[in-house]
Amino acid sequence: TTGIMGAVLVVMALLGFSVMACEAEDVPAGYLSMPGGYMMHESCIHQVGDESSRGPCPYKVLKTAKTDVTAHSDWSVAKSDVAASYYSDWSVYAQTVSPTEDGFTYFASNWTVPSFPEAHGPAKQSSVYIFNGLEDGGGVHGAASVILQPVLQYGKSGCNLNPLKWSEWFLSSYVVDGNGRAHCAELVSVSPGDIVQGVMEKAVNSNEWTVTSVGPKGVSVNTVDMKDTILNAAYITLEGMVIYGCDSYPPEGQVTFVENAIKGENVGDISWTEEIRHDECSQGTDFRSDGTVALTWDASVHQTQ
Q: What is the pLDDT of residues 129-153, one digit of tens each?
A: 999 999 999 999 878 889 999 999 9
Residue 129: what pLDDT? Answer: 96
Residue 10: what pLDDT? Answer: 33
Q: Which residue has the higher pLDDT, 300 or 26?
A: 300
- Banded pLDDT at 191 (limits 50, 70, 90): very high
CA distances from 77 to 70, 95, 135 (A): 11, 32, 36
Q: How do 19-22 and 61-64 pair as beta strands?
A: parallel
Contact by Cβ (8 Å): 222, 236: no
Residue 78 burial by Cβ neighbours in a 10 Å radius (0-12, 13-18, 19+): exposed
Chain-wide mean pLDDT for the chain? Answer: 83
Residues 73-102, mean pLDDT to the nearest whole number: 70
| 9 phi, psi to nearest 5 deg | -25, -30
**Whole-angstrom distance, CA of residue 297 vs CA of residue 213:** 24
DSSP track, 50-72: -TT--S--SSPEEEES---SSSS
Q: Which residue has the higher pLDDT, 252 or 302?
A: 252
Q: What is the pLDDT of residues 271-282, one digit of tens each?
A: 999 999 999 999
Percentage above 90 pLDDT, the chain: 58
pTM: 0.85
Alpha-carbon dihedral 132, 136, 142, 148, rounded to 10 degrees: -40
Contact by Cβ (8 Å): 208, 188: no
Q: How far is CA 205 from the centre of its chain?
A: 28
For residue 244, the one-letter residue type is Y
| 97 phi, psi to nearest 5 deg | -120, 140
Alpha helices (H) in the chain, listed in sequence order: 79-82
CA atoms within 13 A on the CB side of 31: 21
- Banded pLDDT at 11 (limits 50, 70, 90): very low
Q: What is the pLDDT of residues 150-186, one digit of tens each?
A: 999 999 888 888 899 999 999 999 998 777 788 889 9
